[in-house]
Structure 1
Amino acid sequence: MTMTFRFPVRSFLAGIALITALPGALMAADGQAQTDIARVLAGIQPSENSPLQAVAKDAAFKKHQSFMDSSWKQLEDKQLSKVRGWSSDNVKQQEPTLYYLFSGPDYLYANAFFPKAKTIIMAGLEPSGPIPDLSDLTVRTANSELNGTRAALGSLLKHSYFITSEMGHQLSRRKLSGTLPIIYVFAARSGKDIKDVSLIVLDREGKLHAADEPGIDSAAKGAKIVLAGADGEEQTIYYFKTDLSNKGVQASGFIKFLNGYGQGDAFIKSASYLLHNPGFSDVRDFLLKHSAALVQDDTGIPVKYLDANWQLQPFGTYLAPIAQFRHAQQPKLVDLFKKESKGPLGFTVGYRWGKPSNLLLAVKAPPRS
């Protein structure tokens, strides 16, 4: 993606850069150790026997924890609790699979909108990076790194999207660790433990391979993360760095991988209006064919493609795209919201942060017998 209006993570990534080592292409990821790493990054106490307990007892971590607790409470009150309430009231029949393309590492909102998803498939242009390793973290180095983390997470409270240009620039540097630590923070703050993490690639036929398997020429590389909530229910995230344009998906095998999951739900927000572009028609057609329910802001699939087979339920207020995307104005969507909007959302989503937002819930009619 080339959009420049996404959640700024420059300071966050700088803050975690030095506390994530660069292991080989694939390493054995101990679930409890990875859970403890996620908790420390998120400002949550690690397990009692964790090697990170020394860091967690230090004043620097206590300060970090206090900030994170306070900040997340605000985010929970203003955004996440309302998102979950909206989803519970309106997305009644959630499918086991969620397609969240153009997502970047935004597991947080995927889980808030679709908490029942067993498999979440995410994609962006940012690399997943190596599996995080805090084995070299000390009290001295933790102080500066957690300071950087706090500085960046202030922006999370103000926006629901990532700034792709900044994130791409930061993640292109050799010592940065990619999107995995960001997903870790969101998972830990969503009450999830990490059961397993592995680095993966797709071949051109859409088949999964370990990242260090020789002879695989892949244009879709990423990570598989298995999480579990307090109830023990597992949830699997696939995150891929891949080009979602027609040319990209035809070369990567990504659509073939998606086809293996069949019907699911789809979530689209802050997607730079790329699905308005004929150069992204393959992904758009996949979502139209395989989505039982589609939740999106106006950057998603243009309403002209949602034919009589879809029941359309608009929520909030559709104004117009921000100036950078004024070409993506949809007169038909203006009319739909004016006539049928269910009222204010109560939370903000998309590029018009802090202003009236829009969501469209499109539910596909079941096939006739």
Structure 2
Amino acid sequence: MHSLRMVTLAAVMVLSAVAGVRAQTASVDDTAKFLAGMMPSADSPLLPLTNEAAWQRHAKFFDGAFGQLEQRQLSRIRAWADTNLAAPKPTMFYMFSGPDFLYANAFYSKASTYVLSALEPVGSVPDLTRLPRGGIASALYNVERSLGSILSFSFFITKDMKTDLKAGQISGTLPILYVFLARSGMTVRSVTPVSLDDKGAAYFAGENAGPHAVRGVRITFAGSEGVEKTLYYFSTDLSNSGVRTSGFLKFCATLAPANTLIKSASYLMHSGNFTTVRNFLLNNSATIIQDDSGIPLAYYNSTKWRFFPFGRYLAPIDKFPGLYQESYAALFRRAQPIDFGIGYRWRTHETNVLLSVRLADDGTPAIDATASAEAPRAAPPPRRRPRAFIGSRPLPDFWPFWR
């Protein structure tokens, strides 16, 4: 009888231990690694899921894709930034970014605070151990699909990303941020919802910022050196009407001056509907790295900025007629060579990168308030380009970042 009681007690203890393991919630860092195709920690409840064929195929695919991207793009961007960026500021702004932490970190790896913003919602990542049967394979496939264009061409196909990340259990930009943080060698420490009221004050984890608050997420993370950094992503309308009624730019102003990145921005700041965010960036940036889809050269106060062109300026792609800048073309006639590609013209021999450095501040605006955009004009005749593909699927002639 005594032996039977001992056996029964041992069985209960084993079942309790198994139930405890199943009841565990995976850490945000293990979740990020798992979605990125990287092994979670040895005691993670996600570890058994790495034995599934879908995850192993996913991990192999991402190992290859990110390995090629590191060699072809990211390592070269970091080397370029190390050579050309002196005394970077602790904060970087990346408007019209989507969840693109990958290039934010490549250009400004020394930043301690990253502020990304776009229309895409934050979304969510549920407990992956509780997904229904087949849910893991579906979720991993949708993540892969949503990253296809940025892994190949440096920017998102937004309409595809919206479809892919609404198709399953995980959604929005958060899973992509997880993947990029993990694949950038970061340890994710915390993920907290954040909202901004109309004065730019931040409210965290369910605090009430009011009915018209800007919603976002704050992620704290650290690299191999162990220094804690912060990533903010805000889902917000950056048009004039959007930013004038929100506290987003007021929040950003508390972190200025910053370094700024603008790429694949659909030439929005060439129009009159995005003058507020354009002027904010000119007046609150210490450096601006952009392709020609960013701020038109005419709006920079030339007495306040020094320009360093790299690469080659061609006409905007066919979807954006009338946006060729003669002054930009003149500036790029003295451009230095570049060994990576970004933006809509993502091929290295077609890429343009402009580094603008703000000169010592004497209190005058960094924007040319008297400027107007150059008169629309026909671009030079385009050269025939080979068709681009993701896998076996041809890309359309234009890969829209913004709707």
State the TM-score, normalized to the length of structure 2. Answer: 0.79
Please state how far the C-alpha of 1:140 moved relative to its aligned partner: 4.6
User: What's the CA shift for 1:152?
Assistant: 4.7
Q: Which amino acid aligns with 1:330?
A: Q
What corresponds to 1:265 in structure 2?
Answer: 259
Q: Are 1:294 and 2:294 matched, yes or no?
A: no
Query: Where in structure 2 are the equivalents of 1:59-138 lying within 5 Å?
Result: 59-137=53-131
Residues 192-228 of structure 1 show CA distances to partners (whole Å, capped at 9, x for unaligned) of 0111111111111111113533461134111111111
Q: Residues 1-369 of structure 1: matches in 2 within 5 Å? A: 33-137=27-131, 140-169=134-163, 176-210=170-204, 212-214=206-208, 216-306=210-300, 307-338=302-333, 340-343=334-337, 345-354=338-347, 355-367=349-361
Read off the aligned partner of 1:91 and give its amino acid letter: L
Aligned with 2:161: secondary structure? Answer: helix
Change (3 A) 1:211 1:170: farther
* Change in 2 beyond 3 A, CA 1:68/1:334: same
TM-aligned CA deviation for residue 159 of structure 1: 1.4
Report the TM-score, using the length of structure 1 for normalisation.
0.86
- State the 1:89 CA deviation: 0.8
Identity, % of aligned positions? 44
Q: Name the aligned partner's letter for residue 254 of structure 2.
A: G
Contact 1:275/1:300, CA 8 A, preserved across alignment: yes
Q: Is the 8 A contact 1:124 1:240 kept in 2?
A: yes
SS at match of 1:279: helix
Shift of 1:85: 0.8
RMSD between aligned alpha carbons?
2.1
Task: Summarize the Cα distance change of 1:74–1:173 in structure 2 as closer, same or farther, 3 Å threshold.
Answer: closer
CA deviation after TM superposition for structure 1 residue 68, in Å:
1.4
Partner of 1:324, secondary structure, is coil
Distance in 2, matches of 1:78 and 1:185, equals: 19
* 1:7 corresponding residue in structure 2: none
**Relative to structure 1, is the Cα distance of residues 50 and 172 closer, same or farther in structure 2, using a 3 angstrom cutoff?**
closer
Residue by residue, what CA displacement relative to the aligned partner does 1:273-332 show, whole Å, maximum 9, x if unpaired?
111112211111111111111100001111112222100000000001111112221110
* In 2, Cα distance between equivalents of 1:33 and 1:249: 35
Residues in 2 aligned to 1:173 and 1:208: alpha-carbon distance in whole angstroms: 31
SS in structure 1 opposite 2:322? helix
Task: Pick which of 269-278 and 60-69 moved more.
Answer: 60-69
Q: Give the counterpart letter for 1:107 in structure 2.
A: F
Counterpart code for 2:99: P
Q: Distance in 2 between matches of 1:211 and 1:111?
A: 26
Secondary structure at the aligned position of 2:288 is classed as strand
Q: State how far apart, in whole Å, the 2-side matches of 1:324 and 1:97 are.
A: 33
Task: Kindly provide the CA deviation profile for residues 244-290 of structure 1, in whole angstroms up to 9, marking residues without a partner as x.
Answer: 11110111111111111121111100001111112211111111111
Distance change >3 Å, CA 82–CA 139, structure 1 → 2: farther
Q: Is the 8 A contact 1:211 1:221 kept in 2?
A: no
Q: Give structure 1 stretches of 5+ with no counterpart.
A: 1-29
CA contact (8 A) 1:55 1:139 kept: no
Q: More deviation in 304-313 or 104-113?
A: 304-313
Q: Which moved more, 1:357-366 or 1:210-219?
A: 210-219
Larger RCO of the pair (alpha carbons < 8 Å, separation 6+): 1
Question: Could you report, residue by residue, the CA deviation over 1:4-37 in whole angstroms, capped at 9, with x for unpaired residues?
Answer: xxxxxxxxxxxxxxxxxxxxxxxxxx8x700101
8 Å Cα contact 1:126-1:171 kept in structure 2 = no
Q: Report if the CA contact (8 A) 2:188-2:220 is conserved.
A: yes
SS of 1:44's equivalent in the other structure is coil
Question: Residues of 2 paired with 1:173 and 1:212: CA distance?
Answer: 26
**Does the CA contact (< 8 Å) of 1:132 and 1:181 recur in 2?**
no
